[in-house]
Amino acid sequence: MDIALSRGSQILAFNASSSVSAKSSRRSSLAITDTSWPAKGVGPSLSHLQTVVVRAEKRPTWLPGLEPPPYLDGTLAGDFGFDPLGLGEDPESLKWYVQAELVHSRFAMAGVAGILVTDLLRVTGIRNLPVWYEAGATKFDFASTRSLLIVQLILMGFVETKRYMDFKNPGSQAKEGTFFGLETALEGLEPGYPGGPLLNPLGIAKDIKNAHDWKLKEIKNGRLAMVAMLGFFVQASVTHAGPIDNLVEHLSDPWHKTIIQTLAGSGS
C-alpha cells in the first residue's frame, strides 16, 4: 500500500508493507525508504489506518515563522499578518483601515509619479519648475492661493464625503440622481474600487470578486510608494534637493558622494 504525505511544499512517497509470520501474525512494520519503524507490542495493522494527517503549507507572512493573528486570515489583498499594534482586532475598524490604506496608497503613487516627472523636467531644463517641496509656494496668475485652497477643500470634501457614504452603505452612490446623472460613468465595483469608463477606461478587473491578483499588485505598489514618499521627505530635509538631483550627484561619484559622506556625517 502506498501512502503520500505532504510536508510543507514537498511530497514524500512512502511504501508501506505489512509482514505476517507464522509465529506472530499480529506484528506489522512500516517501511519508509530505507528506514523501518517496527511496531511496539501489539498494535493495529495498516489495514486499520483510516486517517492520514496532512500538514498544509503555511501562507507567507511579513516575518518568516511568525504566526499571524486570527483576524488576519489571508483573505484580504496584501495580508501578510502584519499588525503589531492589534489595530485590526475590531472587524469594523479593520474594514475602515483597509480603505484608508488603499486611499493613501493611491495618493502616494500619484505623488511619487508627480515628483519624479516634474523633477526630471526641471533637472533636464525642459521646464522651469520649482523643486517639489517648494511647489506649494508657487503663485499662479489665474487664481490666488486662497481661491485655490477653497476650491480644493470643496472638491476634495465632496469626493471624500461620497466615498465615506459609499463605505457606510455600499452601492448607495451609484443610484440614479446621486451624481448629476453621471452615475453609470462612475459605477463602482465595490467599496474602494470605482469603475465605469471614466475611472476604469481599460476595463481592468471588471470581475472584482476574482481580481485578487490585481488588488495584490496595487496594494504592493502602493506600500512601496508610501515608503518612497517617506524617503523623499527625509532626503529633502537632509540634502535640500529633489530626488533626481540626488540621483545625479550619487551617480557622478557613488563612493565619495554617498558612502564616504554618509559615514563622515554619521561619525561627526
Residue 7 marked as a ligand binder: no
Q: Is 235 annotated as a binding residue?
A: yes
Annotated binding residue 163: no
Q: Is 217 annotated as a binding residue?
A: yes
Instruction: Give yes or no for a contact between 233 and 117, defined as CB atoms under 8 angstroms apart.
Output: no
Residue 101 assigned ligand-binding role? yes
Own/partner long-range contacts of 51-58 (Cβ < 8 Å, ≥24 apart): 52/3, 52/5, 54/5, 54/6, 55/6, 55/7, 55/8, 56/6, 57/6, 57/8, 57/9
Residue 212 marked as a ligand binder: no
- Whether residue 261 is annotated as binding a ligand: the answer is no
Q: Is 200 annotated as a binding residue?
A: no
Q: State how far the Cα of 222 lies from the Cα of 217, in Å rounded to an integer.
A: 8
- Residue ranges of the annotated binding site for chlorophyll a are 101, 104, 217-218, 221, 223, 235, 250
- Residue ranges of the annotated binding site for chlorophyll b are 106, 186
- Residue ranges of the annotated binding site are 101, 104, 106, 186, 217-218, 221, 223, 235, 250
